[in-house]
């Protein structure tokens, strides 16, 4: 609490002027409230509940600059502790990470993990990964004996990360691939993995479960 009059003049006024520590505006409190504030039994630091909330919010947040687009934004302190790389959106995070890859591998960690898991779970089942020989276009996962294919579509298939023209090109390729599968009698299942920004096995498990359910259902019908 910041009193605007000396303590020895406290008894001479009816209301005591104070300065809000958030917005610096002047507000008035009773002498009894002022006395309790001086003794430390009551806080009178804010002119309103809104200023109280805004001040506490400032203490719990940090002003950050997006590593990709340089936009300034607010981030909670507990989030800033997780990483020194700050992004204002998921799109910016994906764009930056793809522009700064240290290898030329196009496959996502999710795709590589799914291959490892499926190869272990179905050692006697022929499964092709990222091959182009079936429909003259790449299929992420293809099981010839089941005439079953899977496409693992990340955020690039749904949001214009590299612009609208690039998104249209990707969507056009997706449609062509779907049509090619129909012509070859292949059931193509699209797995939307756009919400998986950062790979974790615990988060990836639900995508594996989807694929396993479809494969097992197909096997049961044979």
Domain span holding position 118: 109-220
Residue 84 predicted with pLDDT over 80: no
Same domain, 42 and 80: no
Q: Residue 212 maps to which CATH number?
A: 3.40.960
Q: Is the pTM above the cut of 0.75?
A: no
Q: What is the pLDDT of residues 14-65, one digit of tens each?
A: 778 888 888 988 888 887 777 776 666 567 788 888 998 888 878 877 888 8
Do 166 and 200 belong together in one domain?
yes
pLDDT grade for 172, boundaries at 50, 70 and 90: very high
Contact 151, 139 (CB under 8 A): yes
Number of domain units in the chain: 3
Read off the DSSP letter of residue 159.
Answer: S
**Which of 39-43, 44-48, 83-87, 133-137 shows the lowest per-residue confidence on average (mean pLDDT)?**
39-43
Average pLDDT over residues 206-214: 97
Q: List the Cα angle 202/205/211 in 5-degree steps.
A: 170
For helices 109-121 and 201-220, angle between their N-to-C axes, nearest 10 degrees:
50
Q: Which residue has the higher pLDDT, 196 or 4?
A: 196
Q: Kindly state whether residues 81 and 129 are assigned to the same domain.
A: no
């Amino acid at each position: 609490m910041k009193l605007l009059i000396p303590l020895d003049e406290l008894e001479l006024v009816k209301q005591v002027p104070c300065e809000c520590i958030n917005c610096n505006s002047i507000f008035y409190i009773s002498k009894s409230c002022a006395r309790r504030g001086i003794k430390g039994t009551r806080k009178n630091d804010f002119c309103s509940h809104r200023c109280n909330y805004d001040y506490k919010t400032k203490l719990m947040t940090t002003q950050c600059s997006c590593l990709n687009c340089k936009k300034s934004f607010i981030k909670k302190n507990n989030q800033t502790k997780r990483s020194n790389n700050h992004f204002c959106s998921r799109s910016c995070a994906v764009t930056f990470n793809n522009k700064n890859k240290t290898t030329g591998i196009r496959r996502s960690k999710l795709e590589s993990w799914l291959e490892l898991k499926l190869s272990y779970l179905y050692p006697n089942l022929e499964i092709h990964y990222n091959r182009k020989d079936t429909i003259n276009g790449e299929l992420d996962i293809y099981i010839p004996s089941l005439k079953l294919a899977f496409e693992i579509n990340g955020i690039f298939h749904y949001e214009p990360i590299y612009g609208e023209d690039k998104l249209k090109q990707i969507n056009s390729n997706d449609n062509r691939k779907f049509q090619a599968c129909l012509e070859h009698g292949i059931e193509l299942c699209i797995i939307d993995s756009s919400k998986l920004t950062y790979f974790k096995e615990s988060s990836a498990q639900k995508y594996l479960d989807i694929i396993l359910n479809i494969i097992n259902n197909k096997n049961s019908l044979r």
